[in-house]
A = this chain, B = another copy of it.
Amino acid sequence: MSLSMYQASAPVFQRMLRNLKTLLQKAEAHAEARKFDAANLLNFRLYPDMFPLTRQVQIATDAAKGAMARLAGVDIPSWEDVETTLPELIARIDKALAYVESFRPEQIDGSEDRAITVQLRSGPLHFTGQEFLLSFALPNLFFHVTTAYNILRHNGVEIGKRDYLG
B-chain residues with CB within 8 Å of residue A146 when the two chains form the complex:
142-143, 146-147, 150
Task: Contact check, A130 vs B7: say whether CB atoms are below 8 A apart.
Answer: yes
Chain A interface mostly helix, strand, loop or mixed? Answer: helix
B-chain residues with CB within 8 Å of residue A113 when the two chains form the complex:
1
* 7 shortest interchain CB distances as A-B pairs: A142-B142, A146-B146, A2-B2, A3-B3, A46-B154, A150-B150, A47-B153
Residue of B nearest to A141 (CB): B142
| CB of A161 within 8 Å of the partner chain | yes
Interface residues of A (CB under 8 A from B): 1-5, 7-8, 11-12, 15-16, 46-47, 50, 109-110, 112-113, 122, 130, 134-136, 138-140, 142-143, 146-147, 149-150, 153-154, 156, 161-162, 164-166
14 pairs from A and B in contact (CB 8 Å cutoff): A1-B110, A2-B4, A8-B134, A12-B134, A46-B46, A46-B150, A46-B154, A47-B154, A122-B162, A135-B165, A139-B164, A146-B146, A150-B150, A154-B154
